[in-house]
Amino acid sequence: MSALASMNRLVTIGETMAVFIHDPAGPAHSYRLTAAGAESNVAIAAARLGLPARWLSRLGEDELGTFVRDFVADHGVDVVVDWDPSRPTAACVKEVRPFNTRMRYYRNTSAARRLDLLDLALVEDTDHLHLTGVTAALSPEDRQLLETLLRRRRGLGRTSFDVNYRAQLWSGPTEAAACLLPLAEAADLVFIGDDEARSLLGTDDPAEVAAALVRKAGDEVVLKAGGGAALLLATDGVVAAEPARTVEVVDLTGAGDAFAAGYLVARSWGWSVRGRLRLGHLVASRAIGVAGDIGPDVDDAELVELARTTEESLPETIGGRA
């Protein structure tokens, strides 16, 4: 077993794309190159808050693959990449609008469609494994990988699953629900948006969502209501609800990943439920305010102030103890 694999850390597995961003307010034919993927977004946001994070993936043996690898690593994430000489790195063209960003994907033959070829020994002893429904949509092999990982770790309280329903990746909500809901039920912690709940469960009523996804004592479901509150659901119903922050919306893409990262980091710090939800909202507000998926850092002073609101303790490396 690798020494890195035995360290306390968050591990994520998934596809990250090279993203060409076009801002309608900018020059007509100008694009900015960045990288984005649900799982690496979470790893980056977590690492920037001080939680050691690892991202595993497969990339094409091409220049875009090198760019993606370096982009994620430059944000402080421990990157483990399996290079594919025959399949390309996925790419995306993004046209930014505040509430209707348009994405055009070029990923049908990407290297990340065979994530099952990764060395799973690198995730066996991690403190927490975070997975998303985007991976399940890429290929049957990737879907089987998630099923295997969730089955191995079930009941340990150390695996989260973000439903991340992307309609363009599925033939329809019926197909998506048949795949994503069993994966969510197998996780210890689930993130789901109210729009996703309506599409896949036919309801966003908290009690009905809890009944569908909470399977045992200790399981948690975070129901996110877009610009509204985030609710933590458990076997006894709604445990807590926290409103989102009011910020100017530039692009909503990546906000859910940022929220998940904030929640998971606060959980690793031993914060209360309200503290976890509040840190999730704070990190998400950063992503909403920029055209890319990665927003500005949350500084130590903000973390200290946030910790005071629910009487939490911070790691000594972050602004002392609250």
Q: Which of 84, 188, 251, 257 is catalytic?
A: 257
Q: Residues 57, 83: contact at Cβ < 8 Å?
A: no
Report d(CA 241, CA 66) in Å as an integer: 41
Give the list of residues 6+ apart from residue 140 with CB closer than 8 angstroms, or none.
none
Residue 137 in tokens: 């949509």
Q: What tokens does 90 get?
A: 């996925």
Give the residue among 185, 202, 126, 201 at the shortest CA–CA distance from 151.
Answer: 185
Contacts of 25-34 with C-beta under 8 Å, sequence gap 24+, read 31/93, 32/291, 32/292, 33/67, 34/71, 34/292, 34/293, 34/294
d(CA 231, CA 259): 12
- In angstroms, the CA 66 to CA 107 distance is 16
257 noted as active-site residue: yes
Residue 210: closest CA among 198, 220, 199: 220
Alpha helices per DSSP H over 126-272: 133-138, 140-153, 173-186, 194-201, 206-213, 255-268
Q: Cα(157)–Cα(317) distance, rounded to whole angstroms?
A: 26
Q: Cβ distance 222 to 263 under 8 Å?
A: yes
Active site residues: 257
